Each structure stands twice: as C-alpha cells, then as structure tokens.
Chains A and B, each alone.
Chain A
Amino acid sequence: MKCTHYERWLWDDLEGRLSAAQRQELYAHLQVCARCQRQRDTVLTTYRTLHALPRRRAPEHVVQQVRTRLQERSQTRAIPAWWKRVALAPALGLVAAAMWWGWLSMSSNEERTGVATKPSPAEESWVEIHEQLEVADWSPTVSYFIKTGYTR
C-alpha cells in the first residue's frame, strides 16, 4: 500500500477506529518508513493542538441582553391586551351611555312640554309647497309624508 493510504489511517488510529489487523499493519509500516513516522508526529501534534484549543467563553452580558430583549418583546405584545381590557370596555360603555342619554333627553323634553319638536325651515317649506299643490288638486307622495312627518 502507498504512504498516502497509511496517512489516512494515522487519524483513524488516534480515534481508535482501526481494527487490530489494520493497526498492526500500520505500525509495521511506520517502523520502516521515516516519512510516515514524521507524518505521524505531525498528525499527533495537530490532533492534540486542535483538541486543546482554548475555549472562548461567551461574555456574561449576552444572556442578560437576550433576556432584556425578550422582556421588551413580551411587553410590547402585552400592551394591546392590557389596553383592550382597561381602555376599550370603558370606551364602549361611554359611547353607549352617551347614546342612551341623548335618547332620554329628547323623549323627556317631548313629555315635559307636550309639544313635538318645532319643524325645521326645510320642513316648513315642504308644507308650503304641499299646500300650494293641494290647491292645484295634487295627491301627496311618500316623500311628502317623510319630510313633513305625515301627521301634519
């Protein structure tokens, strides 16, 4: 076998991946091949250095910063839910109360005075037109009843 083949085995040998027979063959070759012996030293040095490289430690503030960013995210997500509960319900209540108050005040005004609301100038003019048309023997239309309030 060629030296390049044994060179590949050098790494496998370090990791215990060679069979007993392969190992025996490799060591027999190493005894007679100076080139492969030197390669073995290089592989061993490379392997040891690689596995002993200093571990870089993560700066402590990284975890802290991630925690802060996660909290910020959860807070921005929490605001709409909080807003819905605290602000939306009272807002809807206020609208309902305003509508109810408006309706109540209009009906109580009519009850108190016993008089219907005074017709607007537009309604007045519609009545005038109708009276003129009545003279001309005209029959009232639906729009007439709507505009004048029918009872008149």
Chain B
Amino acid sequence: MVSSIGRHIEVDALSAEAVLIERAQARDEAAFEQIMNLYADRLYNYIVRLVGNPTDAEDLLQEVFLRAYQGLPNFDGRASLSTWLYRIATNLCIDHQRKRARRVQTVSYHAAEDEDGEPSEWELPDTQTPDPLDAALSRELQQVVEQAISMLSPKLRTVLLLYDVENLSYEEIARVLKIPIGTVKSRLNHARGQIQKQVDKYLRGESI
C-alpha cells in the first residue's frame, strides 16, 4: 500500500517535471526558474564537494543552468532531467579543474592517484572551512570523511559523491559519466576503500 502510494507520488512528480520541461523548452522563463529552484541545492552540494571551493561552485552552478537553458530545446528526455543536469555539472567541473590546474601550481599528494595510477591534477580544496554539522555525528568524523573525499582522484570522487552523497543509482551514474556499470562499481569500491582507511586510522587514533 505504502509503496503503491510512493509510486503514485513519484509518477506525479515525474509528469509534473515533464510539463515543466516542455514549458521551459518553449522558453517559459518561469518554468525554467522552477527547474532551477528544484535542482539548485542538489547540484550545488555536488559541485562544491567536487571542486572544493564555494565561490567556484557558485559560478559553476550558474554556468550549469545557463548551459541547461541553452540546451533544453535539444533535451529529448531519454535520460532524466537530473541525470542530464549532473552530466553538465560534471563536465563543467572537470573542465574548470583542468583550466585551473594549468593556471595554478597544483598540490601533489600520494592519495590523488586514480585506479589507473594516473596522477590527479586537481588541487586540494581548503578543508579548514567550517561546515554545518549533522547533530548525530561528531564534527571530527565528518571532517575526516570530507577530507578523505577531497583527497580522492576526480574519477573516484565523482562516483562516490554521485552514489553515496547524491544517491544516484549505478545505472544513473553510468549514464551521467558515460561509463559501464562495472566501472562505476569498481570506482565506488576503490573510493570507499580509501575513505574507509582514513576513518579506520581516525578510529584507531592514528594521525591522518
């Protein structure tokens, strides 16, 4: 019964979103603004952890929406809107980090190698910025995890954030990143393994 109600709500939300998309495709700015309001927080939460800088994240979020508005007439609905938006955001973040890496001297760190052994060219974000806290968990533990995420390679970080933080499915992540589901699972395992190591060190009282 409950799952049936849940499905109905989901279907209603999807059809409401389809109507919004149609209106936005017809250049209805009010409809597009509703789409922005629906996705702004989710995308920002993803982008800010991906690039590690709130100011850059703000600019990138704006750019995601501008690109989305531009590309909406060509959006065919084969992927969901959220998948499509996450794809735009991911591509923009990767481009942004590449450009920044050329301009700024990058910080090298051992943990920033992906599963292919390629060194990352991403910068370490400023992890000293205080975060709002979940009352259920300690500030320290959250910082350990946040820092561990920031030290992951871009490939691993993207998958981990999409799966464990943004709650996308394997299939959705495969569509966002245009990679096989097997690769999604393997990257997720690697990413989780690295986070787990840092948490283990913290729990054992070792310096991280």
Contacts and interface: CB of A to CB of B under 8 A. Distances in A.
**Is B a genuine binding partner of A?**
yes
Interface of A: 8, 11, 39, 41-43, 45-59, 62-63, 65-67, 69-71, 74
Interface stretch (B11-19, B60-68, B96-104, B113-121): B60-68
Interface secondary structure of A, over-half rule:
helix
Interface stretch (B34-42, B77-85, B171-179): B34-42
Nearest to B138: A49
Contacts of A48: 137
Residue with the greatest number of chain B CB neighbours at <10 A, chosen from A42, A50, A55, A69 = A50
Of all A-B residue pairs in the complex, the 3 with the closest CB atoms, nearest first, are A58-B44, A58-B40, A50-B164
A85 to B, nearest CB: 20
A57 B44 contact: yes
B195 to A, nearest CB: 6
Contact of A67 (B33, B45, B54, B203): B33
A66 B141 contact: no
B33 A49 contact: no
Contact of B36 (A43, A51, A66, A71): A66
A11 B190 CA distance: 12
A59 B66 CA distance: 16
A63 B43 CA distance: 12
Contacts of B199: 42, 45-46, 49
Given A48-B137, A62-B62, A70-B29, A54 B131 contact: yes
B149 to A, nearest CB: 8
Given A42-B199, A70-B32, 14 more contacts: A8-B189, A41-B203, A42-B196, A42-B200, A46-B192, A47-B164, A49-B145, A50-B165, A53-B146, A56-B44, A63-B36, A65-B62, A66-B65, A70-B69
B95 interface: no
B206 to A, nearest CB: 12
Contacts of B62: 62, 65-66, 69
Nearest to B188: A11
B45 A49 contact: no
Contact of A57 (B41, B69, B192): B41
Given A62-B40, A70-B66, A52 B203 contact: no
